[in-house]
Amino acid sequence: MTQPDLNAIAQKAYLTDSTGEGFIEPLIHATQLPSLMARIGAAPRRVLEMGFGEGTITGPLLESGYDVELVEGSSALCDDARARFGSQLPVHCSYFEQFTPARRFDRVLALHVLEHVVEDAAVVRKMHDWLKPGGQVIAVVPNAESLHRQLAVMMGLQPQLDSLSPRDHLVGHQRVYDLAGFIALFEKAGFEVVEQFGYFVKTVPNGMMTTWKPELIRSLTQISDQLPPRLLANIGLVVRPKA
């Protein structure tokens, strides 16, 4: 995508709430944050955050003592990150495919970014160069097999599980993954899976959740551990380079 394309998506999806749904995803991710912190491990750790989005997790990571750097492709989101965090947060305004850090990291966070990039396999291969020995990648993407997508296909509202919805197009998604395909993406790039996980029990699209109480959305995130990851809205992996 061109820089104007990225900035247009950033403006519609992250910097303003053009749909009235803007509170939903940050609330889900904020509720899941303690689990993410546990997977990163005790601070201090050197962490690379890929993509800024709404900036939901950046502040908590910095406040918890992690040594965080950001790589972000949209200049508008880079400006937003610099304005909000100043000198606390080194910001690299770069496409992932072109990024070469000056140092390596204990953890790389690829949280809801791989569905946006055109060449996802190339980006995953680059992650080897960003990790310190013993480092890990924590990656999360939307799940093609989520309950809400299965219901949509069953009801004839979309043709197949991996069809892109109007919201997918709004936020610049190139694809959605099922768990098997997501695992294969990393294994083909020379990683091995340490952990599989998922979160948020989603039965309807975000547009039908705008009147839901925050307590319900938080509870549907917190109950995720009781269901198989492949049924949840978001699927995640912790991976490390193969020995």
Task: For 59-88, write each residue's pLDDT tens digit.
Answer: 999 999 999 999 999 999 999 999 999 999
Tokens linked to 97: 């495919």
Q: Cα separations (Å) of 150 from 25, 110, 238?
A: 20, 25, 25
What is the distance, to the nearest Å, from the Cα of residue 182 to the centroid of all Cα atoms in its chain? 13
| pLDDT, mean of residues 121-135 | 97
**Band of pLDDT at residue 176, cut at 50, 70 and 90:** very high
Q: Write the burial class of residue 67 (CB in 10 Å: 0-12 exposed, 13-18 middle, 19+ buried).
A: middle
Q: What is the pLDDT of residue 164?
A: 87
Pick from 231, 225, 228, 243: nearest CA to 34: 225
* Beta-carbon count within 10 A of 102 CB: 7
Calculate ∠ Cα 216-219-222, nearest 5°.
155
| pLDDT, mean of residues 148-158 | 95
**Band of pLDDT at residue 4, cut at 50, 70 and 90:** confident
Task: Express each pLDDT in 182-193 by its tens digit.
Answer: 999 999 999 999
Helix intervals (H) in 86-191: 120-130, 147-154, 166-170, 179-188
* Domain 3-241: assigned CATH number: 3.40.50.150
Q: Where are the domains of the chain?
A: 3-241
Contact (CB, 8 A) for 158 and 176: no
Q: What is the pLDDT of residue 42?
A: 93
- State the pairing for strand pair 191-199/234-241: antiparallel
* Beta-carbon count within 10 A of 8 CB: 15
Q: What is the pLDDT of residue 184?
A: 98
Give a three-class secondary structure readout of 112-135: CCCCCCCCHHHHHHHHHHHEEEEE
